[in-house]
Amino acid sequence: MTVISGADELLDAEVYVDLREALGTPLYLKCEGFNFAGSVKLRPAAQMVAAAQREGLIGPGSVLIESSSGNLGVALAVVAAAKGLRFVCVTDPKCNPATARLIKALGAEVVTVCRPDATGSYLAARKEYVRRRCAQDPACVWLNQYENPANWLAHYENTAALIAKQFPTLDTLFIGAGTGGTLMGCARYFREHRPRVRLIAVDSEGSVNFAGAPGPRHIPGLGASSPMPLIDADLPDEVIRVPEAEAVRTCRRLAAKGLLLGGSSGTVISAAAGWLERHGVDRSHTAVAIAPDLGERYIDTIYDDAWVAEHYHHTTLDSLERQ
């Protein structure tokens, strides 16, 4: 029996879904949404706050502030509430409305930066707002998930180690790339402890994490409009870029089987399923994909027909109906 005293203490439920039944794909899905933040981001959020407290950066009157497109904002809101800290989440119009409401429900302040910077980047505009706010208010503490080593260390020490323990014969691991925390933590762990494991990084089309061509993206989570400082592009064996429409198809296909997953999860699963099919792996091959989040926060977006038609055209809906 697991007993916790704070919402920030439940970090891993160790739930895996065998997707042979749902997709006919020999893939184990590590579901990271079964905690009070509903995503994989609770682990780095807790670790970044703990590290800042150890270093004396957070005091009684401190105000945590962070730029986030969604899941990390929720995770930090959970940690801040559990520890009695104030938190300001700086987001943009791409943040799911349900996510913004959830952050507010947890007692945090939500600031929406409505204009991108001169290059069209909301991320750069969010960071600039955080810098200005910190300059104006000395109580503000920017954890800076984009450069904070505690981000990837949380996954090195926990996520990767747990997967390695559960799958001693692991052959291939699929990991989404956002800020790079999950990817780099897992990649460094397996390079050091199980170097034969093939590491596949999954990114969204339109992201520039791996020198890809920049383009429009509508689903928050994976991908970035500027290169992420934490990412070492030499660590993954391969990078797969997934069109957002394919991620939507995968999410809806799984929802029809009762598995309501988030956009980041759909992206990673789409990449994994395609890779495994192309390589014709047999039953002896063990593959795991990390599903960062569940799907409730995407009801107004990827599970809404009108939203999908607006962002990906009617052909996407037509193809979804033929699944």
Residue numbers annotated as active site: 41, 264
Question: What CA–CA distance (Å, rounded) separates 125 from 123?
Answer: 5
Q: How far apart are CA 37 and CA 31, in angstroms?
A: 13
CA dist., res. 155 & res. 143, Å (int): 17
CA–CA dist 64, 43 (Å, integer)? 17
Assess contact for 83 and 111: CB atoms under 8 A. no
Q: Residue 225, by phi and psi: left (phi above 0), alpha (psi -120 to 50) or beta?
A: alpha
Helix, strand and coil percent figures for the chain, each rounded to 5: 40, 15, 40
In 3D space, the residue among 202, 169, 37, 192 whose CA is nearest the CA of residue 103 turns out to be 37
Place of tokens 């029996």: 1
DSSP characters over 241-294: EE-HHHHHHHHHHHHTTT--B-HHHHHHHHHHHHHHHHHT--TT--EEEEE-BB
Helix pair angle (314-321, 305-312), 10° resolution: 130
Task: Confirm if 201 and 169 have CB atoms less than 8 A apart.
Answer: no
Query: Residue 268 carries which side chain, given as an amino acid letter?
Result: V
Which of 63, 77, 143, 134 lies closest to 107 in space, CA to CA? 77
